[in-house]
Amino acid sequence: MKKWNMIIDVELCENCNNCTLATKDEHVGNDFPGYAAPQPLHGHRWIDIKRKVRGASPMVDAAHVPMMCNHCDDAPCVSAGRGAVKKRDDGIVIIDPQQAKGRRDLVESCPYGAIWWNEELQLPQHWIFDAHLLDQGWQQPRSAHACPTRAMKAIKIEDSEMRDLANREGLEVLRPELRTSPRIYYKNLHRYSKCFVGGSVVAMTGGIKDCVGGATIELRRGMDKIGVQTSDAFGDFKFDSIEPDSGPYVLVASQSKHGRAQVNVNVGSESVYVGDVVIA
């Protein structure tokens, strides 16, 4: 059976917040019985855009990641709900707006922080994938419709097809270690979850510092060669998708005309810009 999934490309998200606002426009003050009670005007962000800034000047990048209910297949909220949270056949999870009344405990049941508490209605609420619209034949939820860069796209396919697609395109889910089997997939998530090691290869010519384009830079860890890059016209290089807190690395930069340099790097929780790598 075909089921709903969402694919979000972190590289394409520009933090315009249209998806968040479109979801608010759909749900604030609007009641969809059986799906969702009205979202309050303030306080809830059913689609929440998280930001990660990496590196140090002049090598800095920023990534924005829309986060929402993952409509997990093994959802802790469904287990905790004891009937108040339902998994539909099409993969969508719905917190029943009648049966979940007063169930503040459900907010804590979600390890992603995707359930919001509506104080006025005494109700836990989440992003419902706009199931009320999909059931009327819409092909996309309001959030994806409103996304100007097409960073967000819903797709209804068989689970086996989705697995193939995820493998083929390197899609990832949030916190896979939780084994909740999310249905929200991310492309280029490394921009948010991983570190980079970067720098600029330079050489001294007549007492003047010159950028060295075309230099070869190797990133090594112990005896392993992690990657090889060529510096661009400004001498810059960047190794991405490095595991945070992965410890010591060695950068070796070389170019036939200018020489060679070696720099030790330690990767902690943040990306590392090593600055100038002076080859001689």
Site string for ligand SF4, 166-185 (x = CB under 6 A): --------------x-----
What letter would DSSP give residue 243?
P
Q: Toward ligand SF4, which CB reaches closer, 49 or 166? A: 49
70 counts as binding ligand SF4 under rule CB under 6 A: yes
127-166 residues near ligand SF4, rule: CB under 6 A: 146-147, 149, 151-152
Q: Please, what is the minimum distance in Å from the beta carbon of residue 103 to ligand SF4?
A: 12
75 counts as binding ligand SF4 under rule CB under 6 A: yes
100 counts as binding ligand SF4 under rule CB under 6 A: no
Q: Toward ligand SF4, which CB reaches closer, 19 or 36? A: 19
Q: Toward ligand SF4, which CB reaches closer, 76 or 275? A: 76
- Please tell me the count of residues contacting ligand SF4 according to CB under 6 A: 29
Q: Binding residue for ligand SF4 (CB under 6 A) from 7, 36, 37, 69?
A: 69
The token pair that represents 136 in the structure block: 């009327």
Is the peptide bond prior to 182 cis by the omega test (within 30 degrees of 0)? Answer: no
Contact region with ligand SF4 (CB under 6 A), list: 55-63, 72-80, 243-251, 269-277 = 72-80
What's the chain's length in residues? 280
107 counts as binding ligand SF4 under rule CB under 6 A: no
Question: How far is it, in rounded angstroms, from Cα 234 to Cα 242?
Answer: 23
Q: Toward ligand SF4, which CB reaches closer, 82 or 257? A: 82
Cα of 209 vs its chain's centroid, Å: 38
CA angle in degrees (0–180, nearest 5) for 35-113-118: 50
Q: Please, what is the minimum distance in Å from the beta carbon of residue 261 to ligand SF4?
A: 40
**Going by DSSP bridges, is the β-strand pair 3-9/48-56 parallel, antiparallel, or unpaired?**
unpaired
Contact 226, 187 (CB under 8 A): no
* Neighbouring residues of 256: CB distance < 8 A, sequence distance ≥ 6: none
3-22 residues near ligand SF4, rule: CB under 6 A: 13-19
201-230 residues near ligand SF4, rule: CB under 6 A: none
Name the residue among 161, 31, 2 with its Cα closest to residue 90: 2
**Going by DSSP bridges, is the β-strand pair 85-87/216-221 parallel, antiparallel, or unpaired?**
unpaired
What residues are paired with 228 via a beta bridge? 218
Question: How far is it, in rounded angstroms, from Cα 144 to Cα 136?
Answer: 16
Q: Toward ligand SF4, which CB reaches closer, 16 or 226? A: 16
Q: Toward ligand SF4, which CB reaches closer, 144 or 267? A: 144
The token pair that represents 85 in the structure block: 């949270």
What is the Cβ-side half-sphere exposure of residue 223, based on CA atoms within 13 angstroms? 0
Per CB under 6 A, residues contacting ligand SF4 are 13-19, 49, 64, 66, 69-72, 75-77, 93, 110, 112, 114-115, 126, 146-147, 149, 151-152, 180
